[in-house]
Structure 1
């Protein structure tokens, strides 16, 4: 029988006992936790986590309970769960409850709802790394992703490539149609660039009309195929508020090799893009 009455607590709480088969059985859950999760005592009491939670959540629950039983110490951690009232984030504290002989008879769990904080953190993180106009990554995101890609390549010796895309004659579009249309051109250009890439490729806007992508293509042929796929996306005019806007894009690429720095790699791709732009201009 449980030794701690969680129903007496105002704070969201539950208690766990070790079943005869070594499973972790919920001895109780109080009304405060039921109200937050949408669970009921009938759904939880006398059951294991696998009987009311999704398999992934249940496995994590039981890993934490197992660690607490093994250590006989207070365990504190953050977790996220999918419950009837939706997904929530928690700061959970597990406290071992001992009997008079010092035997561990149950775990008391206290849950603090941190969902609002986690959602705010996610929103802040997204804002910090996203371009607000186009929704793709910004320069800070590109720099971070490039740093990670450089580290992976150095560790695995598996190369990757950078593609730089610059919208042709974008200033004249702004001058002729106005900045509102120019902004819409940037949004649609980002969408078309995204459509020309693999799902795993990482697109960012790093300047006014300049975009970069970190792509998995690692040979001259594979990079050429990727750039051709992107160019195909720009063979039809853009429709911007009833205005048909023709738009082309200049591309350049560079592939990672051992010993090259991130700055050198980006400069090489940028140089290739400007060479392509000059060639197209005749």
Structure 2
């Protein structure tokens, strides 16, 4: 179910959760409980309407999603902000509503979804973008004058867990919250008047150019940036928005960032599960076919030859049946490591299924070198394996097909390597055979 449909179906549950999440943030002024719920519901309907459009045109998996056009949601957000002002709420309370609404939808959606898929992550991204744009639109309706803008940002953003700041047109900090100070590794009371580009931890992120773009185009700029390296690496999604004065000129830039490391890691994990064999940690059939297709296209352009090895274990079924599947899994893991140890870093070793493995040997047409690599694999596989607290013996049959001599088609190349492997099996196993069209 799409997130927009889920929101409409679960509207009352979301509103109840919103009331619970916002009870400490909102104060009952001239707005009654019913009025606040009605406005929250209207806000949700406008956001659903916004994210419906990109959902209808959402690309297939693997393609880049289109960022939603912000015009309509900004218009509805400005109207919402004006209504909230009439009801007597200040900008801090307005922001609190958005934060509480985001939290309510995300918590209930993730609980209801049980596991987050790549599609679900995409839905949350669109929802986050709509919420951000709505918040910026509401801020715009509250910030007509510079002094009020500064007071409003301080009131709204000081306690936000997301890095948020305001800079003048020269890029010097006017306001920064505690989260920004933490990111920039400088006390918050020492940030005012400092050029943010001098403190930003990633020197290759061209903030000056990005700020100039916001000022010249008078449009919001979105993107992603990484901070740190290794295990400390974090992903941030940022948004820079122009703050306009009464004459329509840009007098400041509002910046906000959100730590999306967990989302990035989840996306990477989903991709890895789809493309790697969980047992051996080798590329699976899907990733192998993708790399074979890419290498074929590369060789078509450059004329670079390559070889494809198809490896099938001999007597694996006997080991698996006698010692059990756990021992069989251990053997396959050891086989993967031994094959990897025989090839170069640039070559691809993959597990297709069961006890079938493949190797793509790049930029090689020397028969002697190919045979030497294949024979080293044979030799490694004949060594005893320690599995199930005892030693087990298997071997391997290897078939070889070469590009472009044996075929210039990825499908035929794989088929020919498979046929050569079966010849090795048929003629006694534990040996290497090249594809021979006359023998097939």
* Interval of TM-score (by shorter of Structure 1 and Structure 2): 0.7 to 0.9
- Work out which of the residue numbers 154, 164, 177 in structure 2 matches 1:30: 177
Aligned partner of 1:249 in structure 2 is 396
Q: Could you give the per-residue CA deviations for residues 212-245 of structure 1, whole angstroms, max 9, x where no partner exists?
A: 1222142033422332343343353111142111
Provide the C-alpha distance between the structure 1 equivalents of 2:363 and 2:190, rounded to a whole number of angstroms.
50
**Cα pair distance change 1:42/1:213, threshold 3 Å:** farther
TM-score normalised according to structure 2 size = 0.55
**Cα pair distance change 1:38/1:103, threshold 3 Å:** closer
Cα offset, 1:181, TM superposition: 1.1
1:270 aligns with 2:418: yes
Provide the C-alpha distance between the structure 1 equivalents of 2:400 and 2:283, rounded to a whole number of angstroms.
18
Q: Could you give the per-residue CA deviations for residues 38-89 of structure 1, whole angstroms, max 9, x where no partner exists?
A: 7333686514435441434xx3545533443443321122333228x93322
Higher-helix-fraction structure: 2
SS in structure 2 of the partner of residue 233 of structure 1: helix
Q: Could you give the per-residue CA deviations for residues 154-200 of structure 1, whole angstroms, max 9, x where no partner exists?
A: 33332332221111111111123222211111111011111112222
Question: Which runs of no fewer than 5 residues in structure 1 stay unpaired?
Answer: none
Q: How many matched pairs?
A: 273
Counterpart mapping for 1:1-282 below 5 A: 5=150, 6-10=153-157, 11=160, 12=162, 13-19=164-170, 24-34=171-181, 37=183, 39-40=185-186, 41=188, 46-49=194-197, 51-56=199-204, 59-82=205-228, 86-221=232-367, 222-257=369-404, 260-281=408-429
Cα offset, 1:149, TM superposition: 2.1
**Cα pair distance change 1:185/1:42, threshold 3 Å:** farther
Higher relative contact order, chain-length normalized (CA < 8 Å, sep 6+): 1
**Cα pair distance change 1:189/1:63, threshold 3 Å:** farther
Aligned partner of 2:130 in structure 1 is none
More displaced stretch, 142-151 vs 61-70: 61-70
* Higher Rg of the two aligned structures: 2
Provide the C-alpha distance between the structure 1 equivalents of 2:235 and 2:155, rounded to a whole number of angstroms.
23
Q: Could you give the per-residue CA deviations for residues 72-111 of structure 1, whole angstroms, max 9, x where no partner exists?
A: 321122333228x933223221112234554433321122
Provide the C-alpha distance between the structure 1 equivalents of 2:172 and 2:372, rounded to a whole number of angstroms.
56
Verify the 8 A CA contact 1:68 1:74 in the aligned structure 2: yes
Provide the C-alpha distance between the structure 2 equivalents of 1:38 and 1:247, rounded to a whole number of angstroms.
57
Verify the 8 A CA contact 2:173 2:195 in the aligned structure 1: yes
